[in-house]
Structure 1
Amino acid sequence: MGPVRWGQPGGVAPLQFEGAGFPAFAADTGDQAHFEYLRGELADVSTSSSGWVLDCPVWPAASPDSERPWAGASGAAVFCDGRLVGVVAEDNRAMGFRRLHAVPVHEALSLPGFADLVTRHGHPGTTALPEEVTAGSGRTKSAEDNGMWPVEVGPVPALASAFQPRHMLRDRIDTAKARNGTVVLAQVLSGGGGVGKTQLAAACATDAFREGVDLVVWALATEAQTVITRYAQAATRLQLPGVSGEDPPTDARLLLDWLATTRRRWLVVLDDLTDPAALGAWWPVSRTGTGWVLATTRMKGPMGGGRARVDIDVYEPAESAAYLRERLHGENMGHLLDDQAPTLADALGHLPLALGLAAAYMANEELTCAAYLRRFTDRRTRLNEALPDWADMEGYGRQITTALLLSLDAARATDTTGLAEPVLRLTALLDPAGHPHTLWTTQTLLNHLTTTHTTPQAPQITADHTHSALRLLHRYALLTCDTRAEPRAVRIHALTARAVRENVSDPVLPELAGTAGDALLEIWPEADQPHADLAAVLRANTDALAHHTGDHLWHPEGHTVLYHAGRSLLNAGLHGPAITYWQHMTERAEQLLGDEHPGTLTARANLASSYWQAGRTEKAITILEQVVEDRQRLLGDEHPGTLTARANLAVSYWQAGRTDEAITIEEKVVEDRQRLLGDEHPDTHTARANLASSYWQAGRTEKAITILEQVVEDRQRLLGDEHPDTLTARANLAASYQQAGRTEKAITILEQVVEDRQRLLGDEHPDTHTARANLASSYWQAGRTEKAITILEQVVEDRQRLLGDEHPDTLTARANLAVSYQQAGRTDEAITILEQVVEDIERLLGDEHPGTLTARANLASSYWQAGRTDEAITIEEKVVEDRQRLLGDEHPGTLTARANLAASYQQAGRTEKAITILEQVVEDRQRLLGDEHPGTLTARANLAVSYQQAGRTDEAITILEQVVEDRQRLLGDEHPGTLTARANLAASYQQAGRTLPGYADGPMNGTDG
Structure 2
Amino acid sequence: MPVDGAAAAGPSSPARVRVSGEGAVGAGRDISHSAVGEGSRVEHTEVTNQVAGGTVHGDVYQAENVTVNQYLPSSAPGPVVRPVRVGTVPPLASAFQPRPGLREEIDRARERHATVVLTQVLSGGGGVGKSQLAAAYAWQAHAGGVAVLVWVNAAESAQIVAAYATAAQRVGAPGADGQDAEDDAGAFLDWLAVTERSWLVVLDDLTDLEGAQRWWPRPPVGSNGRVLATTRRRDALVTGSGRAVVDIGTYTRTEALEYLGERFTAADAPHLLDDQAEDLVEALGRLPLALAHAAAYMINDDVGCTAYLGLFTGRASRLAALLPPGADTDGYGRQVTTSLLLALDAAEHREPAGLATPAIRLAAHLDPAGHPDTVWATEAVTQYLTAHRTVSGASGPVTADQARAALRLLHHYALLTHTPHDSNRAVRLHALTARAARETVPDSETPATVHAAADALQAIWPEHEHTARDLTVVLRANTDTLADHAGDLLWHPDGHPVLFATGRSLNSTGLFGAAVSYWQRVAAAAERLRGVDHPDILLTRTNLAHSYRQAGRTGEAIVIDERVLADRERLFGDDHPHTLNARANLAASYWRAGRTGEAIVIEDRVLADRERLLGHDHPDTLRTRANLAASYWQAGRTGEAAGLLERVLADHERVLGHDHPDTLASGANLAVSYWQVGRTGEAIGLLERVLADCERLLGHDHPDTLAAATRVRRWRIS
Q: TM-score, normalised by structure 1?
A: 0.42
Residue from 325, 345, 352 that aligns with 1:409? 345
SS of equivalent to 1:422: helix
Instruction: Tell me, in whole angstroms, the C-alpha distance in 2 between the residues paired with 1:575 and 1:505.
Output: 39
1:400 CA drift (Å): 2.2
Do the aligned partners of residues 574 and 209 (structure 1) sit closer, same or farther apart at CA in structure 2, a change above 3 Å counting?
farther
Alignment pair present for 1:671 and 2:608: yes
Letter in 2 for 1:545: L
Which position in structure 2 is the counterpart of 1:359? 205
Residue from 496, 508, 519 that aligns with 2:433? 496
Q: Which runs of 5+ in 2 are unaligned?
A: 1-30, 36-94, 112-121, 140-149, 165-201, 213-230, 232-292, 299-304, 313-318, 326-333
Residue from 643, 649, 655 that aligns with 2:586? 649
Instruction: Tell me, in whole angstroms, the C-alpha distance in 2 between the residues paired with 1:553 and 1:427.
Output: 17
Which position in structure 2 is the counterpart of 1:709? 646
Do the aligned partners of residues 685 and 649 (structure 1) sit closer, same or farther apart at CA in structure 2, a change above 3 Å counting?
same
1:777 CA drift (Å): 4.4
Larger Rg: 1
Which position in structure 1 is the counterpart of 2:371? 435
Alignment pair present for 1:604 and 2:450: no
Residue from 407, 419, 424 that aligns with 2:360? 424
Which position in structure 1 is the counterpart of 2:160? 335
Alignment pair present for 1:560 and 2:530: no
Alignment pair present for 1:582 and 2:519: yes
Alignment pair present for 1:723 and 2:660: yes
Instruction: Tell me, in whole angstroms, the C-alpha distance in 2 between the residues paired with 1:419 and 1:413.
Output: 9
Instruction: Tell me, in whole angstroms, the C-alpha distance in 2 between the residues paired with 1:495 and 1:668.
Output: 57
Alpha carbons 1:609, 1:620 under 8 Å: kept: yes
Instruction: Tell me, in whole angstroms, the C-alpha distance in 2 between the residues paired with 1:473 and 1:313.
Output: 17
Instruction: Tell me, in whole angstroms, the C-alpha distance in 2 between the residues paired with 1:166 and 1:573.
Output: 53
RMSD between superposed Cα atoms in Å: 4.2
Which position in structure 1 is the counterpart of 2:42? none
SS of equivalent to 1:406: coil
Instruction: Tell me, in whole angstroms, the C-alpha distance in 2 between the residues paired with 1:357 and 1:462.
Output: 37
Alpha carbons 2:151, 2:204 under 8 Å: kept: no
Which position in structure 2 is the counterpart of 1:593? 530
Deviates more, 1:524-533 or 1:444-453: 444-453
Alpha carbons 1:383, 1:499 under 8 Å: kept: no
SS of equivalent to 1:484: coil
Do the aligned partners of residues 650 and 326 (structure 1) sit closer, same or farther apart at CA in structure 2, a change above 3 Å counting?
farther
SS of equivalent to 1:507: coil
SS of equivalent to 2:323: helix
Residue from 316, 323, 338 that aligns with 1:395? 323
Do the aligned partners of residues 635 and 196 (structure 1) sit closer, same or farther apart at CA in structure 2, a change above 3 Å counting?
farther
Alpha carbons 1:358, 1:403 under 8 Å: kept: no
Instruction: Tell me, in whole angstroms, the C-alpha distance in 1 between the residues paired with 2:464 and 2:399.
Output: 27
Do the aligned partners of residues 485 and 331 (structure 1) sit closer, same or farther apart at CA in structure 2, a change above 3 Å counting?
farther
Which position in structure 2 is the counterpart of 1:461? 398
1:417 CA drift (Å): 3.6
CA deviation vs aligned residue, 1:610-642 (integer Å, no higher than 9, x gap): 111111111111111111111211222222222
Alpha carbons 2:373, 2:426 under 8 Å: kept: yes
Which position in structure 2 is the counterpart of 1:158? none
1:452 CA drift (Å): 4.7
Higher RCO, 1 vs 2 (CA within 8 Å, ≥6 residues apart): 2
Alignment of 1:935-954 (within 5 A): none
Instruction: Tell me, in whole angstroms, the C-alpha distance in 2 between the residues paired with 1:590 and 1:654.
Output: 28
Instruction: Tell me, in whole angstroms, the C-alpha distance in 2 between the residues paired with 1:168 and 1:637.
Output: 80
Which position in structure 2 is the counterpart of 1:546? 483
Alpha carbons 1:166, 1:319 under 8 Å: kept: no
Letter in 1 for 2:711: N
SS of equivalent to 1:744: helix
Instruction: Tell me, in whole angstroms, the C-alpha distance in 2 between the residues paired with 1:592 and 1:405.
Output: 35
Do the aligned partners of residues 598 and 334 (structure 1) sit closer, same or farther apart at CA in structure 2, a change above 3 Å counting?
same
Letter in 1 for 2:474: V
Instruction: Tell me, in whole angstroms, the C-alpha distance in 1 between the residues paired with 2:96 and 2:561.
Output: 52
Alpha carbons 1:383, 1:401 under 8 Å: kept: no
SS of equivalent to 2:343: helix
Alpha carbons 1:365, 1:410 under 8 Å: kept: no
Q: Which runs of 5+ in 1 are unaligned?
A: 1-164, 170-194, 212-270, 273-311, 340-355, 367-371, 373-381, 786-1009
SS of equivalent to 1:506: coil
Instruction: Tell me, in whole angstroms, the C-alpha distance in 2 between the residues paired with 1:656 and 1:574.
Output: 20
Instruction: Tell me, in whole angstroms, the C-alpha distance in 1 between the residues paired with 2:103 and 2:655.
Output: 53
Letter in 2 for 1:708: L
Alpha carbons 1:553, 1:559 under 8 Å: kept: yes
Do the aligned partners of residues 364 and 614 (structure 1) sit closer, same or farther apart at CA in structure 2, a change above 3 Å counting?
farther
Identity %: 48
Alpha carbons 2:542, 2:564 under 8 Å: kept: yes
Alpha carbons 2:352, 2:402 under 8 Å: kept: no
CA deviation vs aligned residue, 1:290-312 (integer Å, no higher than 9, x gap): xxxxxxxxxxxxxxxxxxxxxx9
Alignment pair present for 1:570 and 2:507: yes
Count of residue pairs the alignment pairs up? 465
Q: TM-score, normalised by structure 2?
A: 0.58
SS of equivalent to 2:688: helix
Alignment pair present for 1:445 and 2:381: yes
CA deviation vs aligned residue, 1:12-39 (integer Å, no higher than 9, x gap): xxxxxxxxxxxxxxxxxxxxxxxxxxxx
Instruction: Tell me, in whole angstroms, the C-alpha distance in 2 between the residues paired with 1:314 and 1:456.
Output: 39
1:430 CA drift (Å): 0.7
Which position in structure 1 is the counterpart of 2:683? 746
Instruction: Tell me, in whole angstroms, the C-alpha distance in 1 between the residues paired with 2:543 and 2:644.
Output: 27
1:418 CA drift (Å): 2.0
More helix, by proportion: 1
Alpha carbons 2:34, 2:96 under 8 Å: kept: no
Do the aligned partners of residues 739 and 456 (structure 1) sit closer, same or farther apart at CA in structure 2, a change above 3 Å counting?
farther
CA deviation vs aligned residue, 1:668-701 (integer Å, no higher than 9, x gap): 1112222222222222211111111101111122
Alignment pair present for 1:638 and 2:575: yes
